[in-house]
Structure 1
Amino acid sequence: MRFRHRAAAGFATLLLPFAGLVGLASPAQAAANSNGATATYAKTQDWGTGFEGKWTVKNTGTTGLSSWTVEWDFPSGTSVTSAWDADVTSSGTHRTAKNKSWNGSLAPGASVSFGFNGAGSGSPANCKLNGGSCDGGSTPGDAAPSAPGTPTASGITNTSVKLAWSAATDDKGIKNYDVLRDGAKVATVTTTSYTDTGLTAGTDYSYTVQARDTADQTGPAGGAVAVHTTGGTTDPPPTGSKVKLGYFTEWGVYGRNYHVKNLVTSGSASKITHINYAFGNVKDGKCVVDDTYAAYDKAYTADQSVSGVADTWDQPLRGNFNQLRELKAKYPHIKVLYSFGGWTYSGGFAQAAANPAAFAASCKSVIEDPRWADVFDGIDIDWEYPNACGLTCDTSGAAAFKNLMGALRSEFGSSYLVTAAITADGSSGGKIDAADYGGASQYVDWYNVMTYDYFGAFDADGPTAPHSPLTSYAGIPTAGFNSADAIAKLKSKGVASNKLLLGIGFYGRGWTGVTQAAPGGSATGAAPGTYEAGIEDYKVLKTSCPSTGTVAGTAYAYCGKNWWSYDTPATIAGKMTWAKNQGLGGAFFWEFSGDTGNGELVSAINSGLS
């Protein structure tokens, strides 16, 4: 297991429990609860044409809740444009928010919040929580039905899919089921199956089902199943002209159990433009495939495969490379680059820099191997760091990087993409000053500027600081260690703005033994992490240690003795706005598996750059 980059330098929403409680910065309000739970609303931002709000669901009863559903009505002209920490669906003016898989359970006294952005100026009304009153008052009638099982999809064609689900339960009996496609009701049936027709070939859909009892009470929707219809010659690329690039790690198929198909099921494939496959190795001055089993030999079953077809023992290409080929067949707008180097394998670049032409030729022979020549659209060089120190120290000289990139462009020509991941050390005399990034920029399509890992528990005693600060701030431990200074320095060296991509980490860095919530506190070491101390995925941190504040455009969280910093959908939105205002070419992120199962961080990048 390798972690990619080290210390390198290297929004809210709108809903209320009942009409009339909308007020910017007004406190959340709750009533006594006889049903065991309340839903309260606080409006957190208002920018005239839209707003941001937050619902908080609290278990005020004596027994645990296994799930929650908040419903409300909007007047015409007011809508939800995006949401987080809940699945929000619409039917006319009615909105339904259901818990995610990880935040539905609430012990007595516990609470959970979700948020959304809204357009318009209307206020929510007619709030219901799990079919009852949002203020905890009693509601006539029996309890609402339970959620049906997550549908299974079969018989997928260009225009249809068969869905089946396990039955919901209710004390008075189930009357029928509503089938929802992408949040909108498409059918009401009395059985536990339905065939949806009239679909578009080569298109992604999401299906959920909710039950209605004999008292006409509607229960919460069950889990969602993603469906991609067969056929179709093109899938629409993400909106806008900016690059939206994610790293896919070769080793993620093992302990992380993250595969190319996850890009489809999460919805991320339709929201990105490029993938960097990481990492190829650099040995003896040449590019080589690192883990050949994961890359082109691992067999996938039908349910694991992007195409839905199982690999056979005698097919010429399996593994990640074949899955990427299948992904590109479904999403032809995606371009894939083979990334060589990284933190662990950068030591090989010194020998490569001694004979750049031979190195470039070796890389092209790997990428144009007849078994997978159609998979890759270019090459990415991740040298950490030219003429400076990373895992090892390089002394190739300031011109080595420019010479290497020039040789790659000469070898690959204009028909391939040639890019590089580079340091974001904006300090005076730092890593950006150590190599000729300005001169090399004439050969690259863009630079992935690694604007993360500035600070972390590699400094065991702190001070605590955001690992990916967008700007400087009072008390920042090292001057120049922030995105704005790095981008400004690269521009001053002649790198065009549209050749710079802003880097986003889909993980946090944290300390333990911290006694203050604000940045700048002392620590005793690295906070525990799933795979490595001091590092944890966003998908874990968003619930295990929720954000308690922001500094320099990045979220931080203080929980117990632990202090973490990481990006959220809200901070990513701010960074994407900054990137657009700077005229940058787009953004990239490390790496897909740190995101939630529904790809909320990828969605934030796509929305923010569109």
Structure 2
Amino acid sequence: MVGLAAPAEAATSATATFSKPSDWGSGFEGRWTVKNTGTTTLSSWTVEWDFPAGTTVTSAWDADVTGSANHWTGKNKTWNGTLAPGASVTFGFNGTGSGSPSGCKLNGASCDGGPSVPGDALPSAPGTPTASNITNTAVTLNWSAATDDKGIKNYDVFRNGTKVATVTGTSYTNTGLTAGTDYSYTVQARDTIDQVGPVSGARAVRTTGGSTDPGTPGTGSKIKLGYFTEWGVYDRNYHVKNIVSSGSASKITHINYSFGNVTGGKCVMGDAYAATDKAYTADQAVDGVADTWDQPLRGNFNQLRKLKAANPNIKVLWSFGGWTWSGGFTDAVKNPTAFAQSCYDLIEDPRWADVFDGIDLDWEYPNSCGLSCDASGPNAFKNMMQAMRAKFGPNYLVTAAVTADGSAGGKIEQTDYAGAAQYMNWFNVMTYDFFGSFNAAGPTAPHSPLTSYTGIPQQGFTSADAIAKFKAQGVPAAKLLLGIGFYGRGWTGVTQAAPGGTATGAAPGTYEAGIEDYKVLKNTCPPTGTIAGTSYSKCGSNWWSYDTPATVAGKMAWAKQQGLGGAFFWDFTGDTANGELVTAISNGLQ
């Protein structure tokens, strides 16, 4: 292994310390922090360690992590290898198992900067905290002490994976909490040279008061949410009744009605005719009863009301923004309180207030670029969600569709999603559209890869990387939903069957070049292979990637293993008449 310098020099110039900021039972998040403690600049770094059998790394960020048997190595990226004196850098990973690292080396020498390997032992894990004196806004935690060969200096206390306090004793009272809210607490010890040991077991706490709404993840059932598009009632001829006739109504828990517009600093109607005025005949209606000319509410809203009457398990949220209408958020969040009031006034209009159980805000993307660019700052999204929760109260669902850009320095890192999470029920992580014919020449790649693979065009553009990034930021796993696209993305002019081929442009599609529904592709271009947890196909010179019931089943198993709150999909119109993909999601989340 090539290090920056000889071991004797490296031993006195840098340290590497390990922490485990979160543990969700079946796995954990680990972090290594490399610090230059010398007087000269480091130009590269390599951290090595051993895990016991059964503990492995599954994904990593901000370093190239590889393993052989039980030995693991993390090497700097091209952009974070240089460390000035006193500077530090952190890289992280998700792992499975319960073991702790041992035998740590940094550039071939001891990770604690001493002359021996492995150096000063890490502290042990503190005992799992106990919880007492739980109120609407506070909880007292106690834990048994950790041990260390040189002594314990203090303890870091983590709430939902984010450090909230450092204390010298073995108890802590956390105040300022929200009533009726689920929290998870862990504790980690520091020794006298600030080495951190393994994190304790997690203690779940629910504050008293508030809402016990079963629509919130974490109460035992998984969220199964589908987007219903307002414009789908036209060319696509897909209506609320189709949710029933396909058998999907009994297999979902939530519907996002999309989209309302965001303009002039307010929530406003999208297509008022489709939403509230379009007249339905008896054969088109959910209950077989035709609309009359003088009834106060028709259109999709009235059909959703009928759907909920027959299926009380379903909750409906009104989604605002989306790709086309996200530009309005920049002005709206300049006064988040007024924006929240406008949304409340629209959704709670007496003509349709009973239809909706929540609001979903699809901002693509805060403090970053989508169809247009936004520079509202990292706190704008959090401030918006805080205002929404304050206005709508504890019993209303407040959610958002969010980026899945897990790349280093990417969109997830531009916004305080963890700060917003405390006010929200969940995030719809849009784990699709990573690759497509918007890059007309290719290379061909699956648009919704679950994991990375050799030759992927952009590191970090996978579901696993996105979920890991949100968890690392401090968003609870139970507030993350995995996204499934009910469509494929494709290229034409392709000669190579495997991913990575060149192309000449977008493959033809029914409604848009480069995009086609699953219900079409399953017959016109059946899968010829799978990669990264999703399928691909080549038929003639066209190359497509899309999810099938089999790949959806695999993704649902992964979502459960990760402790996610469930899954969502875009959108109902891409599924078969008998709801194959909805069925796969429902069965996979049982």
TM-score of the aligned structures, taking structure 2 as reference length: 0.63
The equivalent residue for 1:565 is 545
CA contact 1:246–1:589 (8 Å) conserved in 2? yes
Residue in 2 aligned with 1:375? 355
Letter in 1 for 2:429: V
Counterpart of 1:6 in structure 2 is: none
2:458 aligns with one of 475, 478, 485:
478
Among candidates 476, 487, 502, match of residue 467 of structure 2: 487
Does residue 340 in structure 1 map to residue 320 in structure 2?
yes
1:288 equivalent in structure 2: 268
Q: Which residue of 1 aligns with 2:247?
A: 267
Counterparts of residues 172-187 of structure 1 (less than 5 Å): none
1:327 is the counterpart of 2:307: yes
Partner of 2:42: none
Say which SS state the counterpart of residue 511 (structure 1) adopts: strand
Whole-angstrom distance in 2 between the partners of 1:494 and 1:514: 42
Distance 1:411 1:323 in 2: 27
Q: Is 1:443 paired with 2:434?
A: no
Per-residue deviation, residues 263-296 of structure 1 (Å, max 9, x unmatched): 0000000000000000000010100011000000
Amino acid paired to 2:547: D
Match of 2:558 in 1: 578
Shift, 1:240, TM fit: 6.9
Judge conservation of contact 1:240–1:609 (CA < 8 Å) in 2: no
Residue aligning to 1:386: 366
1:100 counterpart residue number: none
Whole-Å separation in 1 of the counterparts to 2:521 and 2:365: 30
Matched, 1:430 2:429: no
Q: Does 1:604 align with 2:584?
A: yes
Look up the match of 2:6.
none
Q: How far apart in 2 are the matches of 1:522 and 1:500? A: 34
Q: Secondary structure at the match of 1:443?
A: coil
* Residue 373 (structure 1) shift: 0.7
SS of 2:355's equivalent? coil
Counterpart of 1:411 in structure 2 is: 391
Q: Does 2:488 align with 1:521?
A: no
Q: Tell me, yes or no, if the aligned pair for 1:293 and 1:319 is still in contact at 8 Å.
A: yes
Secondary structure of 1:451's counterpart equals: coil
Contact 1:325 1:374 in 2 (8 A): yes
CA distance in 1, matches of 2:256, 2:561: 25
Partner amino acid for 2:455?
G
How many angstroms apart in 1 are the aligned matches of 2:461 and 2:307? Answer: 37
C-alpha distance in structure 1 between counterparts of 2:377 and 2:320, whole Å:
20
What is the aligned partner in structure 1 of residue 204 from structure 2? none
Distance in 1 separating the partners of 2:393 and 2:354: 17
Q: Deviations over 1:520-553 (max 9, x none)?
A: 0000000000000000000000000000000000
Amino acid at match of 1:467: H
Distance 2:266 2:314 in 1: 27
Alignment of 1:144-293 (within 5 A): 241-293=221-273
Amino acid at match of 2:585: I
1:252 and 1:593 in contact (8 A); partners too: yes
Superposed CA deviations along residues 183-221 of structure 1, whole A, max 9, x for unmatched, are: xxxxxxxxxxxxxxxxxxxxxxxxxxxxxxxxxxxxxxx
Is 1:303 the counterpart of 2:290 in the alignment? no
- Paired residue type of 2:552: I
Question: 1:447 is paired with a residue of what secondary structure?
Answer: strand
Give the superposition deviation at 1:307: 1.1
Per-residue deviation at 1:449? 0.2
Q: Distance in 1 between matches of 2:395 and 2:557?
A: 31
User: Aligned letter for 2:349?
Assistant: D
Give me the whole-angstrom Cα distance separating, in 2, the residues matched to 1:592 and 1:345.
Answer: 21
Could you tell me which of 494, 501, 505 is aligned with 2:481? 501
Partner of 2:342: 362
> Shift of residue 438 of structure 1?
1.0
Deviation by residue 1:16-51 (Cα, 9 ceiling, x = unmatched): xxxxxxxxxxxxxxxxxxxxxxxxxxxxxxxxxxxx
The residue number in structure 2 matching 1:223 is none
Q: Distance in 2 between matches of 1:267 and 1:260?
A: 12
Corresponding position of 2:447: 467
Could you tell me which residue of structure 2 aligns to residue 544 of structure 1? Answer: 524
Counterpart for residue 592 of structure 1: 572
Residue by residue over 1:295-317, the C-alpha shift from the partner in whole angstroms, topping out at 9 and shown as x without a partner, is 00000001100011000000000
**1:354-407 per-position Cα deviation (integer Å, ceiling 9, x unaligned):** 000000000011110010010000000000000000000001111111111110
Q: How far apart in 2 are the matches of 1:257 and 1:596?
A: 13
Please point out which of 295, 298, 301 is paired with 1:318: 298
**1:565 counterpart letter in structure 2:** S
Whether the aligned pair in 2 keeps the contact of 1:510 and 1:563 (CA below 8 Å) is: yes
> 2:578 & 2:317 partners in 1: Cα distance?
24
Amino acid in structure 2 at the alignment position of 1:492: A
How far 1:509 moved relative to its partner? 0.1
Q: 1-side partners of 2:537 and 2:340: how far apart?
A: 44
What is the one-letter code of the residue matched to 1:292?
A: A
Q: How many residues align?
A: 373
Aligned to 1:533: 513
Is the contact between residue 423 and residue 431 of structure 1 (CA under 8 Å) also seen in structure 2? Answer: yes
Distance in 1 (CA, whole Å) between partners of 2:495 and 2:364 is 34
Which stretches of structure 1, 4 residues or longer, exceed 3 Å deviation after superposition?
Answer: none
**1:587: Cα distance to partner?**
0.1
**What one-letter code is carried by the residue in structure 2 that aligns with 1:499?**
K
Q: Deviations over 1:418-470 (max 9, x none)?
A: 00000000000000011111111111100000000000000000000000000
Letter of the structure 2 residue corresponding to residue 271 of structure 1: K
Check if 1:398 corresponds to 2:378.
Answer: yes
The Cα of 1:563 is off from its aligned counterpart by 0.3
* Conserved 8 A contact 1:343-1:384: yes
Give yes or no for contact 1:463–1:522 (8 Å, CA) kept in 2: yes
Q: What pairs up with 1:37-56 in 2 under 5 angstroms?
A: none
User: 1:497–1:584: 8 Å Cα contact kept in structure 2?
Assistant: yes
Q: Aligned equivalents of 1:591 and 1:606: distance in 2? A: 15
Contact 1:445 1:499 (C-alpha < 8 Å) held by counterparts? yes
Pairing 1:456–2:436 present: yes
* 1:484-521 CA distance string (max 9 Å, x none): 00000000000000000000000000000000110000
Contact 1:249–1:278 (8 Å) recurs in 2: yes
- 1:383 and 1:602 map into 2 onto residues whose CA distance is 25
Do the aligned residues in 2 keep the contact of 1:282 with 1:288 (CA within 8 Å)?
yes
